[in-house]
Chain A
Amino acid sequence: MSSPSAAPLDLLYSEAEEELRTAVRSLLAVRCDAAGILARIEGGRPHDPELWRILAADIGAAGLLVPEKLGGQGASHREAAVVLEELGRAAAPVPYLTSAVLATEILLGCDSTRAADLLREPAAGRQICVPALPLTLAPGAPLPAPVHDSGDGRLSGTVTSVADAVAADVLLVLADTGLHAVPAANARITPLVALDLTRPLATVILDGAAATRLADPATARAAIAGALLSGAGLLASEQLGIAEWCLTETVAHLRTRHQFNRPLGSFQALKHRLARLWLDVASARAAARAAADALATGAADAPLTVAVAQAYCSGVAVRAAEECVQLHGGIGMTWEHPAHLYLKRAKADSLALGTAGHHRGLVADFAELPAP
């Protein structure tokens, strides 16, 4: 290996990060309970604009990655990761990953005045800005074919599986002439029926949509690549939050639920499954923290650390959610119990920003362990 040992990563949580966690968790406890999420989903409007306003603007979470001079908080990926842990723990239907992470990183990567100006609104939580890219797009994978720019700043084309587009004010679109900002009102956004009820998907159709160009094609592609890396690294923290909720709920259930005149949690077969899951969650925390810290410090081996975190945390979140359903028995199969929200989110997350298999392929490249 070219870099056998990386600089030491800070894998703990700082006091400021714990304070941020407390603020986000308290908000979600009040404004984002499972019954409320289900009610909004059934009403066809999964996003809660008021929750987003408080989280993004009042708490300032939307601008964590944005420098203060551009109207943000000037924090880092470490803080954004803590927010995502809590959002995962609550299966919260808010466009944080798309607007506050992916779109924000793309705009920061454009390094242009126009992009910086555009960033002020989402950074302050006043607008939702969403990249018009398929949620499955992975770092290191070829970008999808760009939409066509007819030359007069009008874009035409279709992008599939765009997460949170239904809530967007602005879309970031990769066209053959570079990156463009398109007001959502100028696009046709067709909601899809998605596996994950808490992160809605849509098809974005542009039919001569008026757009503002932000960057040339090369800059746009580099900015998107950087954003996908950050997004994948921080998604690991959301997956950690999902897994933690599933483990905690399942342990609580097995401690109190009695069958055969014993608490279920006293059966060794079940204890061992939960102990193994706990171990996996503890390991996922180390992997997710490593990715967040490597991104925050711009470590040279950040792409490897991110790939390791994604290759590991995707599977842990899915397994935790699957164990949660199974160990809740029939209760876990019901619509009323929130386990299914987490299972759907975990499974969709395992496809988002690259599968574990894709990220293992990246590990093979970075660690110089080539395929046959």
Chain B
Amino acid sequence: MFQEHTTAHSGVSQRMPLRIPLALLGVVLALLVLASLFIGAVSLSPRLVLDGLFSGQASSLEGTLVWQHRLPRALLAILVGLQLATAGLILQAVFRNPLADPSIVGISSGAGLAVITVLLLADLATVDVLIGDATPTMMSWLPAAALFGGLLAASLVLGLSWRTQLRPIHLVLNGIAVGSVLNALVMWVIVTWGGARTEIALIWLAGSLYGRDFQHLYMLWPWSLAGLLGTLALLKPLALLRFDDSVVISLGLRPMFWRAAAIAVAVLLAASAVAVTGPVGFVGLVTPHLARLLVGSKPHRLWIGSMLLGSMLMLCADLIGRTLISPLEIPVGALTTLLGIPIFLLLLHRQARGRF
């Protein structure tokens, strides 16, 4: 992950100022936010959108549309994207594994199972939480439950791969195997629970931003903040963890402590995102690799670049998903999987040939 500090083949030359690629990414991100405000299933003229944006939510139809649907959705896409990208970056660094991703090491499936189970235990009717009608107290528990499930699943996958010293391929295979068992458990819960709400739950499981509003944003932001602050504290130790344990110790760090802390932060970021959108795969896998190509591999650059790219990816996928066949919607998670798998296979191919 962080291993190519000085080498030139890591994409952009390290002497290039950080500002240029990051400014470019920032501009594209801003354009995407604007696009997701102006484009949608209901077509509004730019003028109406602007009117709605400045007239506040209650006053008009376009105000409601922009303020209650498009804006919170764009903001959520940004948050979720940067969280998943950061989680992927951390996991890849901790495991020295270019194939790690929250959805691959089992975090997403564990969190998904926990969320579905909480919904089931709480009250069948509150499945409306997924489309925004539930009580706030109920919803504020969801990220915590997701965190619990994600931690449990991650420790299961880690425990299973421990014997082979977390070899990349064993870790990923175990993650996918555990993930498929957890997904079967989720299907079990849904089928037992059954009824008319099955489809809502299934759409949530595909990973979607459909019907998300400010309520979800309020629910998510404290977790994002905690996770990002944690990442900030982790950046330096993470860059050192690529060395052998003895070296790390001689540098004055406790390797196991920092590894555990890093995994905890990654689970926190990924699981709380899953609690809001459902599992969205491969964003965390792809973004660090793309970011390294664009901004080089110095820890801070890489992190900021990954976050920007993650947000862009989510916004882009959401925009495509809700406009391509509108009024119907393709879930974001399905799109990121369709786009992410070819890239995953490419990485796998390179790893199989020992090019990492």
Whether both chains belong to one complex is answered with no
B residues adjacent to A (C-beta < 8 A): none
